[in-house]
Amino acid sequence: MPHAPRPLLIAHRGASALLPEHTLAAYRRAIEDGADAIEPDLVMTRDGVLVARHENRIDATTDVAAHPSFAARRTRKRIDGAWVEGWFTEDFTLDELRRLRARERLPDIRPTLHDGLHPVATFEEIVELAAEASARLGRDVAVVPETKHPSYFASLGLAMEEPLLRAIDGHPWACRAPLIIQSFEDGNLRRLREWIDGRRNIRLLQLTCPDPGAIDAREEPMHAPGGLREVATYADILGPPHQALRVAGGRSRLVDDAHAAGLQVMPWTYRPENRFLPPRLRDGPPAARNEAGAIRQLVEHLDAGIDGLFADDPAVAARAVAAHAARSL
């Protein structure tokens, strides 16, 4: 896989630093702010519709708890080995989810002015938004969906692969537009590799280290040279947490090794608040925005040769990409 001539700026759940994530409003703002691509996390409804939510548990991102008619649906489930309590998309039809409104997932550090205004979006609506924006702007706005908990949903009889590809093939723009499908589950990507054979517009991205704080990202088996070569047999791109890059002297061993294996590298997730920046780049309280620090972090990682990036604030990331490009002239 050749190194990208220009890094792909992916809006992580839309302009999620500014608006409730995964809403059509957040995706529109991301495109306005210069994103090359928009990223929806996808989960399933009870009636088999792909919708955009960070997780299938929805009480942190919607007002479901404020609806007395849904109170009895609060439950406890075991998902990917962990017990979770709340409300879950697979217990709701699309029509029922349409009654909910999105709210900010991180209200202690991000604005809540738009809480209660925006409905849950479907994958098909997001594809149509990208298609309309592409036609208006004269450039393709890529869509980068992530399948969330695909094995869990398959165990419920709600396998994600077929509905996802059906939605893509059923849209005249999406069946030719640039798409990247991502997952933490390699089995999901291996199945997709078999099914998308011949679709040149679709690439696959292997996400790694779902919780970089829980394990040392350096010890992730997929990051070893042999692991990277195996990933390259079914995926085109590696998506590590940015903490795993360990940039020093303008180089990252992980980026170099991934490129040697034929993979592009697109880390996640770059955020503009001090809380998410390395201590040496922080300036002010943890909840404060620190655009200068965020740009510096991104430029350092762009120097190391990353091919794309996931960012919560595409406008800030676009400034970093521009600054890096200007310095490289």
What does each C-alpha distance from 106 to 21, 59, 278 come to in angstroms? 10, 12, 19
User: CATH number for the 8-56+109-328 domain, one of 3.20.20.190, 3.40.430.10, 3.40.1190.20, 3.90.226.10?
Assistant: 3.20.20.190
Q: What is the pLDDT of residue 5?
A: 74
pLDDT tier at 250, thresholds 50, 70, 90? confident
Q: What is the pLDDT of residue 107?
A: 97
Q: What is the pLDDT of residue 11?
A: 98
What does each C-alpha distance from 211 to 205, 245, 268, 269, 289 come to in angstroms? 17, 15, 11, 12, 23
Both structure tokens of 113: 């002015």
Amino acid at 295: I
Q: What is the pLDDT of residue 1?
A: 52
Three state DSSP letters for 212-270 = CCCCCHHHCHHHCHHHHHHHCCCCCEEECEHHHHCCECCECHHHHHHHHCCCEECCECE
- Euclidean distance between CA atoms 41 and 269, whole angstroms: 13
Q: What is the pLDDT of residue 34?
A: 97
Percent of the chain topping pLDDT 70: 95
pLDDT tier at 244, thresholds 50, 70, 90? very high
pLDDT tier at 299, thresholds 50, 70, 90? very high
Q: Name the one residue in this structure whose structure tokens are 């940015």.
A: 242
Compute the radius of gyration of the chain from its Cα atoms: 19
- For residue 323, how many other CB atoms are within 10 A of its CB? 15
Residue 216 has pLDDT above 70, yes or no: no
Instruction: Assign 275 to helix, strand or coil.
Output: helix
pLDDT tier at 213, thresholds 50, 70, 90? low
Q: Contact, 25 vs 115, CB < 8 A?
A: no
Spell out a b/e string for 264-283, using b for 16 or more CB atoms within 10 Å of the CB, else e: bbbbbbbbbbbebbeeeebe
Residue 90 has pLDDT above 80, yes or no: yes
Q: Contact, 281 vs 273, CB < 8 A?
A: no
- Give the mean pLDDT of 258-271: 98
Q: Which of 60-69, 203-212, 299-308 comes out lowest in average pLDDT?
A: 203-212
Q: Contact, 272 vs 289, CB < 8 A?
A: yes
User: What mean pLDDT value characterizes the chain?
Assistant: 94
Q: What is the pLDDT of residue 211?
A: 65
Q: Which of 18-27, 89-98, 240-249, 279-288 comes out lowest in average pLDDT?
A: 240-249
pLDDT tier at 327, thresholds 50, 70, 90? confident
Angle at 201 between CA 199 and CA 205, to 5 degrees: 95
Residue of higher predicted confidence among 101 and 329: 101
- Give the mean pLDDT of 266-291: 97
Q: Contact, 167 vs 130, CB < 8 A?
A: no
Q: Name the one residue in this structure whose structure tokens are 């500014």.
A: 18
Residue 62 has pLDDT above 80, yes or no: yes
- Give the mean pLDDT of 182-203: 93
Q: What is the pLDDT of residue 209?
A: 86
Each residue's pLDDT tens digit, 93-123: 999 999 999 999 999 999 999 999 999 999 9
